[in-house]
Amino acid sequence: MGGGPEAKKDKVLFVLPFPEPTDVTDRLKRKFPNIDFEYINLTSHRDGVWVRHKELPKEIYHDITILGTLAVLPEKPEDCPRLELTHIFSAGINHITDNPVYKDTDVTFTTSNGIHGPQIAEWVVMTALIQSHKYNPLYELQKQHKWGQKHTSENYGKVSDLVGQRLGVLGYGSIGRQVARVGKAMGMDVIAYTAHAKDTPAARADNGYIVPGTGDPDGSIPSAWYSGTTKAELHRFLAQDVDLLLVSVPLTKATLRLLGAAEFAVLGRRNAFVTNISRGKVVDQPALVDALKDGTLRGAALDVVDPEPLPEDDPLWDAPNVTITPHISGLGDAYAKRAFEVMELNLERRANGEELINVVDKKRGY
């Protein structure tokens, strides 16, 4: 904010669905004595369910300059006349893009992109290995206290390890970079696909938040890069002998139903495995079910589906070789800590007049 004796102090309002982490907020108050902080926990946890226990009056937003939230925004721009910066405590923003404060103002939005890579990468590896190592039937045997036989219909001896397989990363952001790092460490070849060309070292660098010791900061892991916004360019990437496809693109108008029957047919040349941790609507779900049933794809791991929750009678539940989890791959005990770290870094940058990280390009939608 501007200087002068009459200048108002910045005010940060946190509106989040978990109790205040006082160790974090106390540190912020000490570090930024010229900022007023307020924290509102909108929900409580009762009998295993998060319950919203208060509604916010619109007046609460009137004097804030910075908002930290997961999904709750003022309803109208006139409710927040001083708002300059909103930090979203998630990587995706598709759930807020219809809000007038997002659509109709020049308020800067930043995300927590970069905090999810470690736990999601572990989920990706876990679900891939569960299927390739035929763990599900082994677990059923364990529950029955039975010792499995090596040579059965499951054919446990025919496990294909990941060494030499090709990982195609569709959307080479922070999550894709950490999956690539882990995949390469396990002996995989990695190729990357982005909407826009990354044809220089500077363009391939990750300039967002990076959990220390993770990811691909300089973009050196992929053996090849592909890019484009047309089906032909996408198919060229998918046709590069991809064994495991990671879907990690944001949900936008351009990526809605990006993968369907035609794309699965291309992947079917290698009988590929598809992993989706982005959004369910990126995939044509009925086409995916068909590709699993007829063996075009050898399997799929899905942390996101359409709709969520997935109805009990949806045919996806019974598709062969599919693992489904309830949109939890990004969760972990470090989630909030890392999201606050991104916001703290941007508070520092803002105070120093420096460029912020993880700024949303509203034209692209991410």
> Residue 3 falls within a domain, yes or no?
no
List the CATH number of the domain containing 250. Answer: 3.40.50.720
Residue 242 tokens, joined? 């991809």
User: Is the domain of 86 the same as that of 121?
Assistant: no
pLDDT at residue 46, rounded to an integer? 55
Average pLDDT on 177-186 reads 98
Cis peptide before 307 (omega within 30 of 0): yes
Q: What would the two tokens of residue 116 be? A: 């999810």
Question: How many Å is the maximal CA-CA distance in the chain?
Answer: 81
* % of the chain at pLDDT higher than 70: 95
Average pLDDT in the 302-320 region?
98
Percent pLDDT > 90 in the chain is: 87
Judged by average pLDDT, the poorest of 32-36, 100-104, 152-156, 347-351 is 152-156
Q: CB–CB of 297/264 below 8 Å?
A: yes
Q: What is the dihedral of CA 150, 155, 161, 165, to 10 degrees?
A: 170
What's the domain count of the chain? Answer: 2
For residue 131, give the nearest of 313, 315, 322, 260 by alpha carbon. 322
- Same domain for 221 and 319, yes or no, is yes
Integer angstrom CA distances of residue 271 from 18, 143, 158, 310, 317:
43, 31, 16, 26, 20
Q: Assess whether 48 and 89 both reside in one domain.
A: yes
Q: DSSP assignment, residue 54? A: -
Domain ranges, residue 55: 10-115+334-351
pTM given for the model: 0.90
